[in-house]
Chains A and B, each alone.
Chain A
Protein backbone atom coordinates (compact mmCIF):
# COMPACT_ATOMS: atom_id res chain seq x y z
CA UNK A 1 0.00 0.00 0.00
CA UNK A 2 1.18 3.52 -0.81
CA UNK A 3 0.24 6.11 1.79
CA UNK A 4 -0.33 9.61 0.42
CA UNK A 5 -0.04 12.04 3.30
CA UNK A 6 -3.19 14.12 3.59
CA UNK A 7 -2.46 17.40 5.33
CA UNK A 8 -4.95 19.62 3.56
CA UNK A 9 -2.61 20.95 0.90
CA UNK A 10 -3.56 20.65 -2.74
CA UNK A 11 -5.65 18.44 -4.90
CA UNK A 12 -4.83 14.74 -4.71
CA UNK A 13 -7.15 13.56 -7.50
CA UNK A 14 -4.50 13.08 -10.20
CA UNK A 15 -1.91 11.57 -7.89
CA UNK A 16 -4.37 9.01 -6.54
CA UNK A 17 -5.78 8.31 -10.00
CA UNK A 18 -2.34 7.85 -11.57
CA UNK A 19 -1.21 5.38 -8.90
CA UNK A 20 -4.50 3.49 -9.19
CA UNK A 21 -4.01 3.44 -12.94
CA UNK A 22 -0.65 1.75 -12.35
CA UNK A 23 -2.37 -0.84 -10.19
CA UNK A 24 -1.21 0.40 -6.80
CA UNK A 25 -3.28 0.24 -3.67
CA UNK A 26 -3.44 3.82 -2.40
CA UNK A 27 -4.55 5.33 0.86
CA UNK A 28 -4.87 9.08 1.33
CA UNK A 29 -4.34 9.42 5.03
CA UNK A 30 -3.38 11.51 8.05
CA UNK A 31 -3.17 8.46 10.31
CA UNK A 32 0.25 7.44 11.69
CA UNK A 33 -0.76 3.75 11.66
CA UNK A 34 -1.28 3.92 7.87
CA UNK A 35 2.19 5.39 7.39
CA UNK A 36 3.60 2.55 9.49
CA UNK A 37 1.66 -0.07 7.53
CA UNK A 38 2.50 1.37 4.11
CA UNK A 39 5.26 0.04 1.82
CA UNK A 40 5.87 3.52 0.51
CA UNK A 41 4.99 7.07 1.46
CA UNK A 42 4.25 10.03 -0.81
CA UNK A 43 4.37 13.60 0.46
CA UNK A 44 2.43 15.75 -2.03
CA UNK A 45 1.89 19.50 -1.88
CA UNK A 46 1.15 22.72 -3.71
CA UNK A 47 1.01 26.28 -2.41
CA UNK A 48 3.25 28.18 -0.03
CA UNK A 49 6.03 26.58 2.03
CA UNK A 50 5.27 28.28 5.37
CA UNK A 51 1.61 27.32 5.31
CA UNK A 52 2.36 23.76 4.18
CA UNK A 53 5.04 22.97 6.76
CA UNK A 54 2.76 24.35 9.50
CA UNK A 55 -0.11 22.16 8.31
CA UNK A 56 2.15 19.12 8.06
CA UNK A 57 3.45 19.67 11.61
CA UNK A 58 -0.13 20.19 12.82
CA UNK A 59 -1.02 16.65 11.72
CA UNK A 60 1.47 15.34 14.30
CA UNK A 61 2.89 12.99 11.62
CA UNK A 62 6.40 14.39 11.37
CA UNK A 63 7.87 12.02 14.00
CA UNK A 64 6.26 9.05 12.27
CA UNK A 65 7.61 10.20 8.90
CA UNK A 66 11.12 10.46 10.38
CA UNK A 67 10.87 7.01 11.98
CA UNK A 68 9.62 5.37 8.80
CA UNK A 69 12.33 7.02 6.71
CA UNK A 70 14.93 5.94 9.26
CA UNK A 71 13.70 2.36 8.87
CA UNK A 72 14.42 2.59 5.16
CA UNK A 73 10.89 2.98 3.80
CA UNK A 74 10.91 4.70 0.40
CA UNK A 75 9.40 8.17 0.46
CA UNK A 76 8.71 10.53 -2.44
CA UNK A 77 8.03 14.24 -2.06
CA UNK A 78 6.36 15.88 -5.04
CA UNK A 79 6.59 19.59 -5.93
CA UNK A 80 6.15 21.49 -2.66
CA UNK A 81 6.37 18.06 -1.00
CA UNK A 82 9.94 17.86 -2.32
CA UNK A 83 10.74 21.35 -1.07
CA UNK A 84 9.57 20.41 2.44
CA UNK A 85 12.32 17.75 2.52
CA UNK A 86 15.05 20.42 2.53
CA UNK A 87 16.63 22.03 5.58
CA UNK A 88 15.08 25.43 5.01
CA UNK A 89 13.14 27.62 2.61
CA UNK A 90 13.60 31.27 1.73
CA UNK A 91 10.08 31.68 0.39
CA UNK A 92 8.79 34.88 2.05
CA UNK A 93 11.04 34.66 5.12
CA UNK A 94 13.15 31.78 6.38
CA UNK A 95 11.34 28.60 7.38
CA UNK A 96 12.64 25.28 8.66
CA UNK A 97 11.96 22.20 6.57
CA UNK A 98 12.15 18.53 7.47
CA UNK A 99 15.91 18.42 6.86
CA UNK A 100 15.79 15.03 5.14
CA UNK A 101 17.76 16.38 2.18
CA UNK A 102 20.61 18.87 2.43
CA UNK A 103 19.81 22.13 0.68
CA UNK A 104 17.60 25.21 0.67
CA UNK A 105 14.57 26.43 -1.26
CA UNK A 106 15.22 29.64 -3.18
CA UNK A 107 13.41 32.01 -5.54
CA UNK A 108 13.78 31.37 -9.28
CA UNK A 109 13.19 35.08 -9.99
CA UNK A 110 15.96 36.23 -7.65
CA UNK A 111 18.43 33.65 -8.89
CA UNK A 112 17.71 34.45 -12.54
CA UNK A 113 18.45 38.09 -11.69
CA UNK A 114 21.60 37.23 -9.73
CA UNK A 115 22.84 35.15 -12.67
CA UNK A 116 21.89 37.84 -15.22
CA UNK A 117 19.75 35.27 -17.00
CA UNK A 118 16.31 36.90 -16.96
CA UNK A 119 16.33 37.00 -20.75
CA UNK A 120 16.94 34.26 -23.28
CA UNK A 121 17.31 34.00 -27.03
CA UNK A 122 14.42 32.17 -28.71
CA UNK A 123 13.20 31.88 -32.32
CA UNK A 124 11.10 34.97 -31.46
CA UNK A 125 14.17 37.01 -30.44
CA UNK A 126 15.20 38.06 -26.93
CA UNK A 127 12.48 37.11 -24.48
CA UNK A 128 12.05 37.53 -20.76
CA UNK A 129 11.69 34.27 -18.84
CA UNK A 130 8.34 33.94 -17.16
CA UNK A 131 8.01 32.89 -13.51
CA UNK A 132 6.37 30.62 -12.36
CA UNK A 133 8.31 28.06 -14.38
CA UNK A 134 5.24 26.32 -15.83
CA UNK A 135 5.16 23.71 -18.51
CA UNK A 136 7.01 20.80 -20.06
CA UNK A 137 10.77 20.87 -19.72
CA UNK A 138 13.44 18.33 -20.67
CA UNK A 139 14.97 16.30 -17.85
CA UNK A 140 18.65 15.38 -17.59
CA UNK A 141 19.19 12.70 -15.00
CA UNK A 142 21.78 10.39 -13.43
CA UNK A 143 21.85 7.38 -15.75
CA UNK A 144 22.16 4.83 -12.94
CA UNK A 145 19.30 6.23 -10.86
CA UNK A 146 16.59 3.55 -10.47
CA UNK A 147 13.81 6.17 -10.30
CA UNK A 148 14.49 6.94 -13.97
CA UNK A 149 14.97 3.41 -15.27
CA UNK A 150 11.82 3.66 -17.45
CA UNK A 151 12.57 6.98 -19.18
CA UNK A 152 15.06 8.48 -21.65
CA UNK A 153 17.44 11.41 -21.25
CA UNK A 154 15.69 14.56 -22.50
CA UNK A 155 12.18 13.28 -21.89
CA UNK A 156 9.92 16.14 -20.82
CA UNK A 157 8.22 16.46 -17.43
CA UNK A 158 5.64 18.96 -16.22
CA UNK A 159 6.64 21.72 -13.79
CA UNK A 160 4.63 24.36 -11.93
CA UNK A 161 6.72 26.34 -9.40
CA UNK A 162 8.30 29.69 -8.51
CA UNK A 163 10.84 28.41 -5.96
CA UNK A 164 13.37 25.62 -6.36
CA UNK A 165 15.88 23.47 -4.50
CA UNK A 166 19.39 24.94 -4.32
CA UNK A 167 22.72 24.09 -2.67
CA UNK A 168 21.74 20.44 -2.94
CA UNK A 169 24.32 19.28 -5.52
CA UNK A 170 25.20 16.11 -3.64
CA UNK A 171 21.55 14.99 -3.58
CA UNK A 172 20.55 16.17 -7.07
CA UNK A 173 19.67 13.31 -9.42
CA UNK A 174 17.94 15.29 -12.20
CA UNK A 175 17.87 18.83 -13.54
CA UNK A 176 16.16 20.99 -16.16
CA UNK A 177 17.38 24.20 -17.75
CA UNK A 178 15.45 27.45 -17.39
CA UNK A 179 18.00 30.25 -17.62
CA UNK A 180 19.46 28.73 -14.47
CA UNK A 181 19.76 25.02 -13.76
CA UNK A 182 16.60 23.99 -11.91
CA UNK A 183 16.74 21.03 -9.52
CA UNK A 184 14.39 18.46 -11.03
CA UNK A 185 14.78 15.63 -8.54
CA UNK A 186 16.77 14.82 -5.41
CA UNK A 187 17.59 11.70 -3.46
CA UNK A 188 19.09 11.01 -0.07
CA UNK A 189 19.10 7.24 0.43
CA UNK A 190 15.48 6.11 0.44
CA UNK A 191 14.12 9.68 0.39
CA UNK A 192 13.26 10.97 -3.08
CA UNK A 193 11.82 14.24 -4.29
CA UNK A 194 10.65 15.51 -7.66
CA UNK A 195 10.06 19.19 -8.29
CA UNK A 196 7.98 18.29 -11.35
CA UNK A 197 4.64 16.51 -11.19
CA UNK A 198 5.04 12.90 -12.35
CA UNK A 199 1.26 12.48 -12.07
CA UNK A 200 0.87 15.18 -14.75
CA UNK A 201 3.82 14.20 -16.94
CA UNK A 202 2.03 11.71 -19.19
CA UNK A 203 3.74 8.41 -19.97
CA UNK A 204 7.12 9.67 -18.76
CA UNK A 205 5.61 10.52 -15.39
CA UNK A 206 3.89 7.15 -15.21
CA UNK A 207 7.27 5.51 -15.87
CA UNK A 208 8.76 7.41 -12.92
CA UNK A 209 5.89 6.52 -10.56
CA UNK A 210 6.10 2.90 -11.66
CA UNK A 211 9.82 2.90 -10.88
CA UNK A 212 9.12 4.37 -7.43
CA UNK A 213 6.61 1.55 -6.84
CA UNK A 214 9.40 -0.95 -7.56
CA UNK A 215 12.08 0.62 -5.38
Chain B
Protein backbone atom coordinates (compact mmCIF):
# COMPACT_ATOMS: atom_id res chain seq x y z
CA UNK B 1 0.00 0.00 0.00
CA UNK B 2 1.10 3.58 -0.60
CA UNK B 3 2.77 4.87 2.53
CA UNK B 4 1.84 8.10 4.29
CA UNK B 5 4.34 10.83 3.50
CA UNK B 6 6.24 13.17 5.77
CA UNK B 7 7.36 16.29 3.96
CA UNK B 8 9.59 19.06 5.23
CA UNK B 9 8.99 22.40 3.57
CA UNK B 10 11.86 24.75 2.85
CA UNK B 11 10.95 28.38 2.26
CA UNK B 12 13.89 29.86 0.43
CA UNK B 13 14.70 33.55 0.28
CA UNK B 14 17.95 35.00 -0.92
CA UNK B 15 19.57 31.56 -0.96
CA UNK B 16 18.63 30.69 2.64
CA UNK B 17 15.83 28.70 4.24
CA UNK B 18 13.50 30.81 6.35
CA UNK B 19 10.44 30.09 8.47
CA UNK B 20 8.04 32.48 10.07
CA UNK B 21 5.12 32.15 12.45
CA UNK B 22 1.75 33.05 10.95
CA UNK B 23 3.83 34.23 7.98
CA UNK B 24 5.32 37.11 9.97
CA UNK B 25 8.69 37.56 11.68
CA UNK B 26 10.73 35.49 9.26
CA UNK B 27 13.91 33.91 10.68
CA UNK B 28 16.96 32.76 8.77
CA UNK B 29 17.60 29.05 9.30
CA UNK B 30 20.20 27.39 7.11
CA UNK B 31 21.67 26.44 3.80
CA UNK B 32 18.98 24.76 1.65
CA UNK B 33 21.28 22.20 0.03
CA UNK B 34 22.64 21.06 3.41
CA UNK B 35 19.15 20.90 4.83
CA UNK B 36 17.89 18.89 1.87
CA UNK B 37 20.70 16.39 2.37
CA UNK B 38 19.97 16.19 6.07
CA UNK B 39 16.27 15.50 5.43
CA UNK B 40 17.05 12.91 2.81
CA UNK B 41 19.22 11.06 5.34
CA UNK B 42 16.45 11.38 7.93
CA UNK B 43 13.96 9.66 5.63
CA UNK B 44 11.87 12.56 4.30
CA UNK B 45 9.56 11.20 1.57
CA UNK B 46 9.62 14.33 -0.52
CA UNK B 47 10.87 17.89 -0.28
CA UNK B 48 8.94 21.05 -0.95
CA UNK B 49 10.79 24.20 -1.88
CA UNK B 50 8.99 27.52 -1.86
CA UNK B 51 10.72 30.39 -3.56
CA UNK B 52 9.68 33.41 -1.52
CA UNK B 53 11.98 35.81 -3.30
CA UNK B 54 10.94 38.78 -5.31
CA UNK B 55 13.81 39.87 -7.54
CA UNK B 56 15.07 38.27 -10.73
CA UNK B 57 18.61 37.86 -9.29
CA UNK B 58 17.29 35.99 -6.29
CA UNK B 59 15.19 33.82 -8.58
CA UNK B 60 18.33 32.72 -10.43
CA UNK B 61 19.92 31.93 -7.10
CA UNK B 62 16.87 29.81 -6.27
CA UNK B 63 17.03 27.78 -9.48
CA UNK B 64 20.77 27.24 -8.94
CA UNK B 65 20.00 25.82 -5.50
CA UNK B 66 17.25 23.65 -6.93
CA UNK B 67 19.59 22.26 -9.59
CA UNK B 68 22.18 21.46 -6.92
CA UNK B 69 19.63 19.67 -4.74
CA UNK B 70 18.18 17.72 -7.67
CA UNK B 71 21.67 16.58 -8.69
CA UNK B 72 22.34 15.04 -5.29
CA UNK B 73 19.04 13.98 -3.82
CA UNK B 74 16.85 11.55 -5.69
CA UNK B 75 13.45 11.80 -4.08
CA UNK B 76 10.44 13.74 -5.38
CA UNK B 77 10.87 17.50 -5.32
CA UNK B 78 8.00 19.96 -5.41
CA UNK B 79 8.64 23.59 -6.17
CA UNK B 80 6.37 26.53 -5.56
CA UNK B 81 6.51 30.29 -5.29
CA UNK B 82 6.31 32.71 -8.16
CA UNK B 83 4.68 30.21 -10.53
CA UNK B 84 2.46 32.32 -12.76
CA UNK B 85 2.92 30.98 -16.29
CA UNK B 86 3.75 27.81 -18.22
CA UNK B 87 7.24 29.26 -18.67
CA UNK B 88 7.61 29.22 -14.89
CA UNK B 89 6.66 25.53 -14.90
CA UNK B 90 9.22 24.90 -17.58
CA UNK B 91 11.92 26.83 -15.72
CA UNK B 92 11.70 24.77 -12.53
CA UNK B 93 11.04 21.41 -14.21
CA UNK B 94 14.26 21.86 -16.18
CA UNK B 95 16.13 22.36 -12.90
CA UNK B 96 14.94 18.99 -11.60
CA UNK B 97 11.54 19.64 -9.99
CA UNK B 98 9.03 16.81 -10.33
CA UNK B 99 5.93 18.68 -9.30
CA UNK B 100 5.08 22.35 -9.44
CA UNK B 101 2.90 24.01 -6.90
CA UNK B 102 0.69 26.93 -7.89
CA UNK B 103 -0.98 29.29 -5.46
CA UNK B 104 -1.39 32.99 -6.28
CA UNK B 105 -0.63 32.23 -9.94
CA UNK B 106 -3.85 30.22 -10.16
CA UNK B 107 -5.81 33.01 -8.48
CA UNK B 108 -4.51 35.55 -11.01
CA UNK B 109 -4.99 33.20 -13.95
CA UNK B 110 -7.51 30.41 -13.31
CA UNK B 111 -6.61 28.76 -16.66
CA UNK B 112 -3.06 28.07 -15.45
CA UNK B 113 -3.96 24.77 -13.76
CA UNK B 114 -5.81 23.48 -16.82
CA UNK B 115 -3.06 24.48 -19.23
CA UNK B 116 -0.27 23.09 -17.07
CA UNK B 117 -2.14 19.82 -16.45
CA UNK B 118 -2.63 19.36 -20.20
CA UNK B 119 1.00 20.07 -20.93
CA UNK B 120 2.74 18.26 -18.06
CA UNK B 121 0.07 15.90 -16.71
CA UNK B 122 -2.14 16.16 -13.63
CA UNK B 123 0.47 14.49 -11.44
CA UNK B 124 2.79 17.43 -12.03
CA UNK B 125 0.35 20.13 -10.92
CA UNK B 126 -0.07 20.77 -7.22
CA UNK B 127 -2.64 23.31 -6.08
CA UNK B 128 -1.45 24.98 -2.92
CA UNK B 129 -3.88 27.07 -0.91
CA UNK B 130 -3.70 29.34 2.10
CA UNK B 131 -7.09 29.12 3.76
CA UNK B 132 -8.57 31.04 6.69
CA UNK B 133 -11.95 31.19 8.36
CA UNK B 134 -13.78 34.44 7.72
CA UNK B 135 -17.23 34.88 9.31
CA UNK B 136 -17.69 31.14 9.65
CA UNK B 137 -16.65 30.10 6.15
CA UNK B 138 -13.35 29.12 4.58
CA UNK B 139 -11.76 31.67 2.24
CA UNK B 140 -8.74 31.57 -0.06
CA UNK B 141 -6.02 34.04 0.87
CA UNK B 142 -3.35 35.42 -1.45
CA UNK B 143 0.03 37.13 -1.07
CA UNK B 144 1.45 34.72 1.48
CA UNK B 145 -1.74 34.76 3.51
CA UNK B 146 -2.09 38.54 3.83
CA UNK B 147 -4.97 39.22 1.45
CA UNK B 148 -8.49 37.78 1.51
CA UNK B 149 -9.51 37.08 -2.09
CA UNK B 150 -13.11 36.47 -1.05
CA UNK B 151 -13.04 33.17 -2.95
CA UNK B 152 -14.89 30.32 -1.26
CA UNK B 153 -12.28 27.68 -0.48
CA UNK B 154 -14.51 24.65 -1.15
CA UNK B 155 -15.55 25.90 -4.59
CA UNK B 156 -11.92 26.71 -5.35
CA UNK B 157 -10.75 23.21 -4.41
CA UNK B 158 -13.38 21.45 -6.50
CA UNK B 159 -12.71 23.67 -9.53
CA UNK B 160 -8.97 23.19 -9.16
CA UNK B 161 -9.26 19.42 -9.14
CA UNK B 162 -11.71 19.46 -12.07
CA UNK B 163 -9.22 21.56 -14.00
CA UNK B 164 -6.47 19.02 -13.42
CA UNK B 165 -4.72 19.68 -10.11
CA UNK B 166 -3.30 16.28 -9.20
CA UNK B 167 -2.58 17.02 -5.57
CA UNK B 168 -3.52 19.62 -2.96
CA UNK B 169 -1.49 21.38 -0.32
CA UNK B 170 -3.93 22.69 2.25
CA UNK B 171 -2.38 25.25 4.51
CA UNK B 172 -4.51 26.58 7.31
CA UNK B 173 -3.58 30.12 8.26
CA UNK B 174 -5.58 29.72 11.47
CA UNK B 175 -3.38 26.89 12.73
CA UNK B 176 -0.08 27.76 10.97
CA UNK B 177 2.78 28.28 13.41
CA UNK B 178 0.55 27.64 16.42
CA UNK B 179 1.69 24.02 16.88
CA UNK B 180 -1.68 22.95 18.22
CA UNK B 181 -2.32 20.31 15.53
CA UNK B 182 -3.48 20.30 11.93
CA UNK B 183 -6.76 21.97 10.98
CA UNK B 184 -8.75 18.74 10.82
CA UNK B 185 -12.09 20.47 10.42
CA UNK B 186 -10.88 22.20 7.26
CA UNK B 187 -9.10 19.10 5.98
CA UNK B 188 -12.17 16.87 6.45
CA UNK B 189 -14.31 19.37 4.55
CA UNK B 190 -11.91 19.23 1.64
CA UNK B 191 -11.42 15.45 1.71
CA UNK B 192 -15.18 14.94 1.49
CA UNK B 193 -15.25 16.81 -1.83
CA UNK B 194 -12.26 15.49 -3.81
CA UNK B 195 -10.32 12.27 -4.41
CA UNK B 196 -6.77 13.48 -5.05
CA UNK B 197 -3.91 13.27 -2.55
CA UNK B 198 -4.08 15.87 0.22
CA UNK B 199 -1.01 17.27 1.90
CA UNK B 200 -1.92 18.85 5.21
CA UNK B 201 0.04 21.88 6.27
CA UNK B 202 -0.01 24.25 9.20
CA UNK B 203 -0.18 23.42 12.85
CA UNK B 204 1.92 20.33 13.51
CA UNK B 205 3.62 20.61 16.89
CA UNK B 206 4.05 17.05 18.12
CA UNK B 207 4.14 13.51 16.80
CA UNK B 208 0.56 12.80 17.89
CA UNK B 209 -0.61 15.55 15.53
CA UNK B 210 0.56 13.40 12.62
CA UNK B 211 -1.00 10.16 13.84
CA UNK B 212 -4.24 12.06 14.43
CA UNK B 213 -4.02 13.45 10.87
CA UNK B 214 -3.61 10.00 9.34
CA UNK B 215 -6.65 8.70 11.18
CA UNK B 216 -8.69 11.05 9.01
CA UNK B 217 -9.82 9.86 5.60
CA UNK B 218 -8.10 11.09 2.48
CA UNK B 219 -4.96 12.41 4.17
CA UNK B 220 -1.81 11.39 2.33
CA UNK B 221 0.91 13.56 3.75
CA UNK B 222 1.82 15.89 6.55
CA UNK B 223 3.95 18.91 5.77
CA UNK B 224 5.81 21.02 8.29
CA UNK B 225 8.76 23.34 8.49
CA UNK B 226 9.92 24.78 11.80
CA UNK B 227 9.41 21.67 13.94
CA UNK B 228 11.72 19.83 11.55
CA UNK B 229 14.12 22.72 10.94
CA UNK B 230 14.68 23.29 14.65
CA UNK B 231 14.81 19.50 15.24
CA UNK B 232 11.93 19.58 17.69
CA UNK B 233 10.79 16.44 15.90
CA UNK B 234 13.17 14.21 13.99
CA UNK B 235 11.63 12.67 10.90
CA UNK B 236 13.04 9.21 11.60
CA UNK B 237 11.64 9.22 15.15
CA UNK B 238 8.30 10.45 13.82
CA UNK B 239 8.10 7.65 11.26
CA UNK B 240 9.02 5.00 13.80
CA UNK B 241 6.34 6.38 16.08
CA UNK B 242 3.77 6.31 13.25
CA UNK B 243 4.64 2.73 12.35
CA UNK B 244 4.13 1.82 16.01
CA UNK B 245 0.68 3.41 15.73
CA UNK B 246 -0.21 1.10 12.82
CA UNK B 247 0.28 3.72 10.11
CA UNK B 248 2.22 2.59 7.05
CA UNK B 249 5.33 4.67 6.44
CA UNK B 250 8.56 4.24 4.52
CA UNK B 251 11.48 3.54 6.83
Contact = CB atoms under 8 A, between A and B. Distances in A.
Contact of B247 (A18, A46, A123, A158): A123
Contact of B245 (A14, A123, A160, A206): A123
B2 A206 contact: no
Contact of A18 (B1, B74, B216, B218): B74
B3 A136 contact: yes
Interface residues of A, number: 36
B3 A135 contact: yes
A156 B3 contact: yes
A206 B196 CA distance: 29
B217 interface: yes
Interface in A134-169: 134-138, 156, 158-160
B75 A200 contact: yes
Nearest to A209: B74
B154 interface: no
Contacts of B55: none
A178 B96 contact: no
A84 B28 CA distance: 47
A120 interface: yes
Interface string A107-149: 0000000000000101111011010111111100000000000
Interface of A: 11, 13-14, 17-18, 20-21, 46-47, 120, 122-125, 127-128, 130, 132-138, 156, 158-160, 177-178, 199-202, 205-206
Given A21-B71, A124-B219, A178-B1, 12 more contacts: A123-B247, A124-B216, A127-B218, A128-B195, A130-B195, A130-B196, A130-B197, A133-B2, A134-B2, A134-B166, A158-B76, A202-B74
